[in-house]
């Protein structure tokens, strides 16, 4: 399952060194001093310099200092290629002079993993800074001045274990290395499948994160655990706004994933890898039934599973005389709602993509997917691609799809 537009990410490439221009936020000398602090902090992470990193932390914030020491150690196995901070804005500089001035700052973090990311992960941190003897230090990252909270990263949750596959990197916290190796092996096979299925350019690599629990997974996604209960994995990334792919992460829910058998785990990892491969072609114009249906079509491709096995919820509906009237809308794919509705929406999308692949050919399915994504807006995107690629219209395709659903599941 894909969390499209989890956050609006910029895919601009970054180097791993140098300083970042401080914003013209009216802070003048203080703004430049804070940016210099952030530059030192970033350089310490890139250079694996514990002392230099901890020197940026307010020594009077004992608890935060201990947390930062652990966090830095947790990063040891993570192959950081680039890491930069940029001061975006502040909640207002304390006009008071002297010891103990405090500042709420919004900071943009960009980082890439060596050998895997062709574009940076972009996230925000909300820092509280303290001034001691004329120098700024980081006192906390929980946004205590205005209640905003910093995005959680995997290394905030514990020591990271890294397992490298031929085409994959699996990062886990609280996980057995053997289990992470199994995920890496599946991811490698999934990359092989997508290299055959998706003929267009993509990184050909996948990064998978395996937190310790469902709750920890939800924290990484900035949401509540209730929305992901029973969801084996999601993919983060950008939909719309850029023709370049953002740095995706496949994030596994270890509880739901482990409840699956070998077959189910392989389908899940291949499904998520399909999202990674198609990211550059998936935009705001792409409906969920197409993006999720294509990912499922890829996941089940060549498995020999028949429609009744892949689409049990939809089969029950058809057998009860409830044939769907239209392709599912995006709302049907929402997490945290009715699980049966969600399952049926995925099944309907899968059968729509399966119909295109069988009637028009797999090449036409991929051409159709790209044509939809190339539309400048959602309105009319599917209709235009149906006409130009498949030679039909929405009413005609919907009718063929309904007939196909009935014939496959009746």
Three-state secondary structure string covering 167-178: CEEEEEECCCHH
Task: Name beta bridge partners: 86.
Answer: 108
- Residue 339: its pLDDT value, please? 84
Query: What is the Cα–Cα distance from 204 to 192, expressed in whole angstroms?
Result: 8
Closest of 72, 80, 85 to residue 20, by C-alpha = 85
Domain layout of the chain by residue ranges = 9-151, 153-280, 283-410
Query: What is the Cα–Cα distance from 216 to 126, expressed in whole angstroms?
Result: 20
Tell me whether strands 160-164 and 135-140 are parallel, antiparallel or unpaired: unpaired
Own/partner pairs for 44-48, CB < 8 Å, 24+ apart? 45/72, 45/75, 45/80, 45/83, 46/16, 46/17, 46/80, 46/82, 46/83, 48/76
Q: Is the Cα dihedral 4, 9, 10, 12 positive or negative?
A: negative
Longest dimension (CA), the chain: 78
Its pTM stands at 0.88
- Architecture category of domain 9-151 in CATH: Roll (3.10)
- Exposure b/e, 82-109, CB count within 10 A at least 16 = b: bbbbbbeebbebbeeeeeebbbbbbbbb
User: How many helices (H) and strands (E) would you count in the chain?
Assistant: 14, 10
Query: What is the Cα–Cα distance from 192 to 183, expressed in whole angstroms?
Result: 14
pLDDT tens digits in sequence order for the chain, 410 residues long: 544 333 322 222 222 344 444 444 445 678 899 999 999 999 999 999 999 999 999 999 999 999 999 999 999 999 999 999 999 987 765 555 455 789 899 999 999 999 999 889 999 999 999 999 989 999 998 754 455 678 899 999 999 999 999 999 999 999 999 999 999 999 999 999 999 999 999 999 999 999 999 999 999 998 888 889 889 999 987 443 344 445 799 999 999 999 999 999 999 999 999 999 999 999 999 999 999 999 999 999 999 999 999 999 999 999 999 999 999 999 999 876 778 899 999 999 999 999 999 999 999 999 999 999 999 999 999 999 999 999 999 999 999 999 999 999 98
User: CB of 173 within 8 A of CB of 158?
Assistant: yes
Q: Phi first, then psi: what are they for 138, rounded to 5°?
A: -85, 125
The 10s digit of each residue's pLDDT in 245-290 is 457 999 999 999 999 999 999 999 999 999 999 999 999 999 999 9
Q: 153-280: same fold as 9-151?
A: no
Query: What is the Cα–Cα distance from 107 to 41, expressed in whole angstroms?
Result: 12
Closest of 334, 343, 354, 234 to residue 288, by C-alpha = 334
- Residue 21: its pLDDT value, please? 47
- Residue 150: its pLDDT value, please? 81
153-280 CATH, one of 3.40.50.300, 3.90.320.10, 2.130.10.10, 3.30.2010.30: 3.30.2010.30
Q: ∠ CA 306-184-161 to the nearest 5 degrees?
A: 140
**What stretches of 57-121 show up as alpha helix (H) in DSSP?**
62-74
Looking up tokens 């130009």 gives: 388
User: CB of 252 within 8 A of CB of 221?
Assistant: no
Task: Name beta bridge partners: 160.
Answer: 173
């Amino acid at each position: 399952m894909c969390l499209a537009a989890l956050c609006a990410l910029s895919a601009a490439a970054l180097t791993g060194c140098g300083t970042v221009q401080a914003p013209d936020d009216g802070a003048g000398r203080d703004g430049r001093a804070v940016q210099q602090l952030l530059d030192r902090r970033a350089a310490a992470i890139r250079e694996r310099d514990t002392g230099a990193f901890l020197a940026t932390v307010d020594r009077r914030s004992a608890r935060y200092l201990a947390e930062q020491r652990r966090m830095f150690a947790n990063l040891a196995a993570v192959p950081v290629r680039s890491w930069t901070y940029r001061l975006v804005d502040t909640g207002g500089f304390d006009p008071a002079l002297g010891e103990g001035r405090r500042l709420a700052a919004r900071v943009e973090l960009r980082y890439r993993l060596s050998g895997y990311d062709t574009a940076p992960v972009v996230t925000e941190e909300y820092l509280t800074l303290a001034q001691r003897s004329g120098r700024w230090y980081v006192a906390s990252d929980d946004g205590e001045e205005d209640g905003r909270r910093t995005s959680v990263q995997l290394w905030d949750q514990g020591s990271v274990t890294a397992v490298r596959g031929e085409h994959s990197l699996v990062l886990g916290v609280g996980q057995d290395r053997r289990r992470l190796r199994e995920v890496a092996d599946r991811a490698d096979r999934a990359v092989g499948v997508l290299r055959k299925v998706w003929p267009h350019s993509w990184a050909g690599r996948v990064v998978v994160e395996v937190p310790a629990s469902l709750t920890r997974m939800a924290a990484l996604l900035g949401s509540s655990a209730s929305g992901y209960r029973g969801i084996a994995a999601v993919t983060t990334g950008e939909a719309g706004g850029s023709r370049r792919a953002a740095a995706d992460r496949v994030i596994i829910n270890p509880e739901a994933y482990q409840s699956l058998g070998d077959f189910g785990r392989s389908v899940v990892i291949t499904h998520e890898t399909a999202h990674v491969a198609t990211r550059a072609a998936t935009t705001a114009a792409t409906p969920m039934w197409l993006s999720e249906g294509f990912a499922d079509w890829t996941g089940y491709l060549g498995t020999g599973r028949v429609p009744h096995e892949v689409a049990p919820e939809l089969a029950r509906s058809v057998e009860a005389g409830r044939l769907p009237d239209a392709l599912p809308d995006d709302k049907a794919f929402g997490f945290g709602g009715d699980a049966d509705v969600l399952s049926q929406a995925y099944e309907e999308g899968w059968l729509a993509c399966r119909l295109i692949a069988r009637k028009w050919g797999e090449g036409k399915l991929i051409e159709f997917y790209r044509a939809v994504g190339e539309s400048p807006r959602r309105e009319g995107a599917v209709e235009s691609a149906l006409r130009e690629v498949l030679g039909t219209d929405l009413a005609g395709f919907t009718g063929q799809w309904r007939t196909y659903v009935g014939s496959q599941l009746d």
